[in-house]
Structure 1
Amino acid sequence: MTDTSDQLPVPQRIPSGIAGLDRILHGGFLKGGSYLIMGPPGAGKTILGNQLCFNNVAAGGRAIYLTLLAETNSRMLANIQNFSYFTLTPIADTLSYLSGYSVLEQEGLEGLTALLRSEVRSHRATLLVIDGIVTAEQAAPTVQEWKKFLYDLNVAAEILGCATFLLMQFEEGPASQPEQTMADGLIELKVRSVNMRSIRELQVRKFRGSAFLEGGHNFAITQEGIVVHPRAEAVLAVSPAELPKPLATTEQPMRMGVGITHLDEMLRGGLPSSSTTLLLGASGTGKTLLGCHFLTQGIMQGQKALYFGFNETPAQLMRKMTRFNLDASRFVAAGQLELLWQPPVQDLLDVLAERLLNAIQRLRVKCLFIDGIGGFQRTMASTERLDLFLTALFTALRTLDITTVCSVELPDLFSPTVTLPQTISGTTAMVENILLLRYVELHSQLYRLISIMKMRESGYDPAIREFRITDHGIEVASTFASAEAILTGIARFSTVTPGVPPAFETSARPLQEQQS
């Protein structure tokens, strides 16, 4: 048995107060640690340093912001006063702004070290930010003196329990500089231009004493200050223990109906619960309407539903659902359905992921329709991420017991083969179900056909069926006869008795005669 008295105490955390950053750091910085924040001019180092101070004070701490720059403190405060975290209230008592430039100039590194020790001790500071630390490096007569200054600063910070942050301009070069090797942690801020957009990225290069979310993470400078969006693939990573247990061979999965009679029959009762389904089809084939059927049926089965789309606004979608008697307004008013539209603006992929997951958690959703996977792609700086992102997202949704349907637009209106967008070609292996909606042209007329291409956890009817869009939404033929007639080129036209569900047995009406 281990003697707990011999174990070292768990280091105390000092949260940054920036939710996304604290999530990356698994709770925040460590008390008494020293951290280097590096980045080019304009990356946001000064904004972040001030935000750390104000958030620390707001949480009950005491902070010092010491600048070694030519910029005066009054000028700097004027520049940050429009951020929401800024307030004059704590400055006089718990947040102290100092300039160490004259002390460094007159007394060198020893004088600056003495100043820092004295101020941290007298102010009982829990957090210290030194802005422009490169000025101190340039004042060091030798590399050895610079190392001694950093060592003395780290020792003082640890003894006094004060987390210290050094803000420094990033310069390309070896990663063995003294300030990088001696710091407990290193955070790099980057700004890069992609397709005429400025993309800001934060990366934790080093963090002693704790695990963290590795890799790059997007951030933005907003009215709130620095807002960090952890990379969705890292946040959504699921351990094998968290995955749903496989069903026994004799156990049948729960079903979530689509709400279209003969399609549910083809699906042997509906989509397996917690599964992910891709709706493949060209523009106008009925993907959005089929997804709305699915959401409506989920509500009828007692579940809450969420529409997350990129093309149609909530008002447009409400009109569409009402037109096809899907009663959207009643479901929205009752809180059973929420329509979330993502306008075509310069959002980040990780922002969309946060918005989606927050809505799912808030509404306790069990039925989700993502209308247009391509909307995620349009927000990405690197399209190579999409497969990894969707794989992580679908896995996380499965662990949350959410039945998900996603529409994917195919590029070809008429083609004997199905060509997937290259960016999601690897995603098909991760989903359980795939449905294909397509047009067929015959004698200068258009028809719609539907087929099930894949159901991993269930048997299904592999036959191709014709379907039509009527005043009641999508209606699927009860047999494959009409689809066979269309595909073999012997379709003939006839009318359907009003009010009688069509069998489409040996006749087919052209698309122009159907409700659209």
Structure 2
Amino acid sequence: MTTTGPERAEAKSNPTPWMPTGVPGLDLVLSGGLLRDSVYILEGPPGAGKTLLANQIGFHRARQGETMLYMTLLAEDHHRMLRNIGGMSFFSQEIVDAHLRFMSGFDVLNTEGLRGILKLIRSESSRSSASLLVIDGVYVIEDHAGSRAEFRTFINELESMSSLLGCTVLLLTSREYDSRLPHYTMVDGWIRLDSRSDGHRWVRELTVRKFRGSGFIGGPHVAGISDDGIRILPRLESLPSEPYPAPSEFVPSGVPDLDRILGGGIPSASTTIVVGASGSGKTSLGLSFLGECTAEEPGLYAGFGETPERLQHKSMKLGLGVEHLHASGPVDFMWMASEDTEADILVQSILEAVERRGVRRLVVDGLQGLSRNLTYPERLGPLLAAASHQLRRRGVTTLMTADAPQLMGGELALTLRDQASLSENIILLRYLGLRTRMRRTLSVIKARDQDFDPSVFEFTIGSGGIRFVRSLAEGDDDPGESSADVTG
């Protein structure tokens, strides 16, 4: 409900210090939103999303009963801009007519200079009782200033005006400045939208360079654009951690022999990494795990390789029943085959699906898929550790799989950073050449706070799923045959 009349006047006379932007993720990054009566620089190259972001904030404030005054100093008029954002879900012509004021300062700047622009801003802001003022193309004002001192004076007077009129100001510019310039020290905040390429795709990012009066989450943060506008994905590893309860029970893995060597099963609300070469049985183990789902304990399979149809066909051949659980509702699939989507967006999509469906069992099949979709590959470990933390807090028992080359070296040394905080359990699947043929083997190499059997077990995959054959004693391979470890 919007505020009008006396309620609106009271809201203006006793404003809260925060002005929530309504942009998903941005208020979290800014620890609440923009501060009222403050001046911010929003910079970025053409096409980064500055105009869209400013309008999205303006429409959100308008839905709270406030007014945005949008002044452009560029040659193009606002009609083209409105046409470009007209397809966004936040757009409303009714709101434009009632709460948004668009105007051009181009002619005034050319004829009356900076003094004329300040006069125009003061009169229009006062007349419209605007709580948000956007000045698009502020670099044009800098070009018209006779000196840096004159431009600093303009910024200083704009700050005084924002406090006097109770108006938050966004200065949009496509010019990248040196942070040592005086006007960057004068403004209350400096936010940058950028677009960078990692070689095969472009990724938008938002970084807060400066923010007076409040803490903020350091970036860069992925900024996605859709028909709903801009969405900011705060770096998951930068969010504050919250405690979660220790595992209180075991949940079945779907493979009784594995539960036995783990000492009872997989600890609830824990993370298990399954490492192995292609074809070693990682996906089959993941499907076995989901085969234990119920209506009270639903599951989700998020994978980068095989389609949901192929996975259900595999489950049917193995007799695991996952296809029936999918048809009746307890199990769902997410296929994430695209390499154009940044890993932060994929991880957030998984977390949202977990929350929406009340998921208690999760399989993330193919960590190498996430690695390929990271602009900064060194973030893989911290990102997964943060995601695992979020899942534990939600009471989700998670099984992640990774190809052996992704995690293993020649000495079977884990190279995934922060793996200790990422997973409680690590299971290794390998092919071994024993007595003239290749055999699948499984061994538990880590099970935190559990009394587990560290032996290497040969297993088969067939009707009924995964079955252990025997434990391999040391020297069990035929001395006359070559023993091959093809973990990758």
Normalized against structure 2, the TM-score is what?
Answer: 0.89
Q: Which residue of 2 aligns with 1:244?
A: 245
Q: Does 1:448 align with 2:452?
A: no
Q: Tell me, in whole angstroms, the C-alpha distance in 1 between the residues paired with 2:467 and 2:187.
A: 66
Q: Does 1:318 align with 2:321?
A: no
Q: Tell me, in whole angstroms, the C-alpha distance in 1 between the residues paired with 2:215 and 2:152.
A: 27
Aligned partner (choices 347, 368, 379) of residue 373 of structure 2: 379
Q: Which residue of 2 aligns with 1:472?
A: 464
Counterpart code for 1:176 = R
Q: CA, structure 1 residues 69+260, in 2 after alignment: closer, same or farther (shift >3 Å)?
A: same
Q: Which moved more, 1:278-287 or 1:71-80?
A: 71-80
Q: CA, structure 1 residues 470+73, in 2 after alignment: closer, same or farther (shift >3 Å)?
A: closer
Shift of 1:329: 3.2
Q: Tell me, in whole angstroms, the C-alpha distance in 2 between the residues paired with 1:223 and 1:416.
A: 47
Q: Which residue of 1 aligns with 2:120?
A: 115
Q: Does 1:63 align with 2:68?
A: yes
Shift of 1:347: 0.7
Q: Contact 2:290/2:322 (CA < 8 Å) preserved in 1?
A: no
| Structure 2: gaps spanning 5 or more residues | 1-13, 481-488
Q: Deviations over 1:238-296 (max 9, x none)?
A: 14xx2435x8xxxxx41111122222111111012222111111111111111111222
Aligned partner (choices 47, 58, 81) of residue 52 of structure 2: 47
Q: Which residue of 2 aligns with 1:225?
A: 229
Q: Tell me, in whole angstroms, the C-alpha distance in 2 between the residues paired with 1:55 and 1:10.
A: 16
Counterpart code for 1:358 = E
Q: How many residues align?
A: 467
Aligned partner (choices 476, 489, 505) of residue 478 of structure 2: 489
Q: Deviations over 1:176-229 (max 9, x none)?
A: 323311211110111222113212111011111222111201113333332322
Q: Which residue of 2 aligns with 1:6?
A: none
| Structure 1: gaps spanning 5 or more residues | 1-8, 248-252, 492-516
Q: Tell me, in whole angstroms, the C-alpha distance in 2 between the residues paired with 1:379 and 1:16.
A: 28
SS at match of 2:93: coil
Q: Tell me, in whole angstroms, the C-alpha distance in 2 between the residues paired with 1:167 and 1:116.
A: 15
Q: Tell me, in whole angstroms, the C-alpha distance in 1 between the residues paired with 2:44 and 2:412.
A: 46
Shift of 1:485: 8.9
Shift of 1:489: 1.6
Counterpart code for 2:356 = R
Q: Tell me, in whole angstroms, the C-alpha distance in 2 between the residues paired with 1:416 and 1:78.
A: 58
SS at match of 2:333: strand
Shift of 1:49: 2.2
Q: Contact 2:364/2:401 (CA < 8 Å) preserved in 1?
A: yes
Aligned partner (choices 259, 266, 271) of residue 276 of structure 1: 271
Q: Tell me, in whole angstroms, the C-alpha distance in 2 between the residues paired with 1:87 and 1:109.
A: 33
Aligned partner (choices 94, 97, 105) of residue 100 of structure 1: 105
Q: Tell me, in whole angstroms, the C-alpha distance in 1 between the residues paired with 2:449 and 2:265.
A: 12
Superposed, 1:277-356 pairs within 5 Å as 277-299=272-294, 302-356=296-350
Q: Which moved more, 1:13-22 or 1:120-129?
A: 13-22
Q: Tell me, in whole angstroms, the C-alpha distance in 1 between the residues paired with 2:446 and 2:80.
A: 64
SS at match of 1:385: helix
Q: Contact 1:261/1:476 (CA < 8 Å) preserved in 2?
A: no
Q: Contact 1:232/1:353 (CA < 8 Å) preserved in 2?
A: no
Shift of 1:436: 1.3
Q: Contact 1:368/1:402 (CA < 8 Å) preserved in 2?
A: yes
Q: CA, structure 1 residues 166+469, in 2 after alignment: closer, same or farther (shift >3 Å)?
A: same
Shift of 1:139: 2.2
Superposed, 1:84-233 pairs within 5 Å as 84-173=89-178, 175-233=179-237
SS at match of 1:384: helix
Q: CA, structure 1 residues 490+145, in 2 after alignment: closer, same or farther (shift >3 Å)?
A: closer
Q: CA, structure 1 residues 388+118, in 2 after alignment: closer, same or farther (shift >3 Å)?
A: same
Q: CA, structure 1 residues 181+429, in 2 after alignment: closer, same or farther (shift >3 Å)?
A: closer
SS at match of 1:393: helix
RMSD between superposed Cα atoms in Å: 2.5
Q: Deviations over 1:356-394 (max 9, x none)?
A: 110111122222111111111010112111111112122
Q: Tell me, in whole angstroms, the C-alpha distance in 2 between the residues paired with 1:107 and 1:78.
A: 30
Q: Deviations over 1:86-105 (max 9, x none)?
A: 33323333211111122222
Normalized against structure 1, the TM-score is what?
Answer: 0.84
Q: Does 1:369 align with 2:363?
A: yes
Q: Tell me, in whole angstroms, the C-alpha distance in 2 between the residues paired with 1:490 and 1:376.
A: 41
Q: Tell me, in whole angstroms, the C-alpha distance in 2 between the residues paired with 1:344 and 1:486.
A: 45
Q: Which moved more, 1:353-362 or 1:34-43?
A: 34-43
Q: Which residue of 2 aligns with 1:462?
A: 454
Q: Which residue of 2 aligns with 1:502?
A: none
Q: Which moved more, 1:384-393 or 1:436-445?
A: 436-445
Q: Deviations over 1:443-482 (max 9, x none)?
A: 44211111111111110112221111121111113x52xx
SS at match of 1:405: strand
Q: Which structure: larger Rg? A: 1
SS at match of 1:19: coil
Q: Contact 1:256/1:298 (CA < 8 Å) preserved in 2?
A: no
Shift of 1:11: 4.2
Identity of aligned residues (%): 37
